[in-house]
């Protein structure tokens, strides 16, 4: 497909994934001006959730893109917060979850069954719980029980709503005085994304468009994504999976120097792989050296592309690199003759889980029982 042909793009991108991603700066601005009321205490049935307690750890519960936003928060605050941040992608909470565990449950639709299950465990353990979503069963439960709910705009593909899932977490942590959200950083992100989207949007021809150029190099190949921040590599991998409907591999440096790198030894020269390296000004000096040595190992056998991310606050770097990756994944979808909006396999899984196990219905019953006990 000709990814410079705007008519063909709109014919395949039927729900306007490009348009959704284009709005990221506006979405960030919207969330930045939004606030959330957090009470000092609420009761859900016979359970008491206290929000003024000292927080010893933070659990971010979610699946897919919702959980990915937690990965970014954990990465960003790794060397500045005293409280550990754990991203929970499961039906249950860890045993340590207690009254001193802040639980932030995220589901864009408000109907993600694993997240709903996590909320029930949080209530049982009397964890101060705050939810983020656009509506659904989660919102109904929160409104009915006065659980703090950060409402975000509906109408987006969950994976295209990354700012709507990331920035509410920052607002919540700020509201609880766990950390402060620097407005200068937020404004820098907004300006960087506005500048970048002019360079990589569909109207910009391939000859001047880095995202299109990279997508063309990746076409009909299996991307192996390297990054010093796993959240960026994994997000890009997931976008390639869902948007472009193809497999990808995500690896973090320095960890992959202790396993993954050996896998290249048996590769023949004609192979389907291409290595995409995200490079950051903030990466550790030893990680930079490991990148150079790793490149020497694989270059004889695979093509390798480096994406140099501009300097700035770490959060600025993380969000900017993610924006570039999202655009690349949509162009790759078009090159694969795939509608970037559809996720038939995921929809089938959800339908079959409800048909065969009535999983969501039973989980909502459990939540209702908690609120009435």
Q: Where are the domains of the chain?
A: 17-181+347-372, 184-335
Return the closest-CA partner of residue 227 out of 185, 278, 268: 278
pLDDT at 354: 82
According to DSSP, the β-strands at 85-88 and 149-151 are unpaired
- Residue with token string 């959240």: 231
281-300 average pLDDT score: 96
What dihedral angle (degrees, nearest 10) is formed by the CA atoms of 98, 181, 32, 187?
-150
- CA–CA gap between residue 351 and residue 202 (Å, rounded): 34
Total Cβ atoms within 10 A of residue 11: 12
Work out the pLDDT band at 373, boundaries 50, 70, 90.
Answer: low
pLDDT at 360: 74
| b (16+ CB within 10 A) / e for 99-135 | ebbbbbbbbbbbbbbbbbbbbbbbbbbbbbbbbbbbb
Range of weakest confidence among 92-101, 234-243, 262-271: 262-271
Q: What is the pLDDT of residues 307-347, one digit of tens each?
A: 999 878 999 999 999 999 999 999 999 999 999 999 999 99
258-284 average pLDDT score: 94
- If you average pLDDT over every residue of the chain, what do you get? 95
- CA–CA gap between residue 275 and residue 255 (Å, rounded): 16
Check whether 18 has a pLDDT greater than 70: yes
Check whether 370 has a pLDDT greater than 90: no
Two domains, one topology: 17-181+347-372 and 184-335: yes
- Residue with token string 């065969």: 356
Work out the pLDDT band at 270, boundaries 50, 70, 90.
Answer: confident
199-207 average pLDDT score: 98
Work out the pLDDT band at 368, boundaries 50, 70, 90.
Answer: confident
Fold category of 184-335 in CATH: Rossmann fold (3.40.50)
Q: What is the pLDDT of residues 142-198, one digit of tens each?
A: 999 999 999 999 999 899 999 999 999 999 999 999 999 999 999 999 999 999 999
- CA–CA gap between residue 128 and residue 116 (Å, rounded): 15
What CATH number does the domain located at 17-181+347-372 have? 3.40.50.10490
Check whether 241 has a pLDDT greater than 70: yes
pTM: 0.95
289-304 average pLDDT score: 96
35-43 average pLDDT score: 95
Structure tokens at 105: 């449950």
């Amino acid at each position: 497909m000709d990814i410079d042909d705007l008519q063909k793009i709109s014919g395949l991108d039927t729900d306007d994934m490009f348009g959704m991603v284009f709005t990221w700066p506006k979405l960030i601005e919207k969330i930045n001006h939004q606030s959330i009321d957090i009470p000092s205490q609420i009761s859900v049935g016979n359970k008491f959730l206290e929000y003024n307690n000292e927080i010893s750890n933070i659990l971010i519960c979610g699946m897919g893109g919702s959980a990915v936003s937690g990965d970014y928060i954990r990465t960003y605050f790794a060397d500045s917060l005293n409280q550990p941040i754990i991203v929970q992608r499961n039906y249950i909470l860890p045993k340590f979850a207690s009254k001193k565990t802040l639980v932030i449950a995220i589901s864009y639709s408000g109907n993600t069954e694993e997240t709903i299950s996590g909320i029930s465990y949080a209530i049982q353990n009397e964890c101060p719980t705050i939810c983020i979503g656009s509506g659904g069963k989660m919102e109904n439960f929160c409104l009915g029980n006065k659980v703090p709910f950060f409402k975000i705009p509906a109408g987006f593909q969950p994976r295209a709503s990354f700012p709507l899932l990331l920035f509410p977490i920052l607002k919540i942590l700020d509201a609880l005085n766990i950390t402060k959200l620097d407005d200068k950083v937020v404004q820098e992100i907004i300006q960087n994304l506005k500048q970048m989207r002019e360079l990589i949007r569909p109207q910009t021809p391939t000859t001047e468009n880095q995202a299109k150029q990279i997508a063309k190099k990746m076409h009909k190949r299996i991307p192996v994504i390297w990054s010093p921040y796993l959240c960026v590599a994994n997000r890009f991998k997931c976008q390639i999976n869902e948007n472009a409907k193809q497999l990808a591999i995500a690896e973090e440096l320095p960890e992959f120097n202790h396993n993954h790198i050996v896998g290249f030894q048996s590769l023949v020269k004609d192979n389907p792989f291409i290595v995409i390296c995200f490079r950051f000004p903030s990466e550790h000096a030893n990680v930079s050296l490991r990148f150079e040595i790793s490149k020497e190992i694989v270059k004889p056998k695979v093509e390798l592309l480096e994406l140099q991310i501009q300097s700035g606050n770490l959060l600025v770097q993380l969000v900017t690199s993610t924006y570039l990756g999202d655009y690349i994944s949509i162009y790759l979808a078009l090159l694969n003759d795939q509608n970037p909006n559809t996720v038939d396999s995921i929809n089938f899984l959800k339908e079959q889980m409800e048909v065969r196990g009535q999983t969501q219905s039973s989980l909502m019953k459990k939540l209702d029982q908690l609120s009435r006990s």
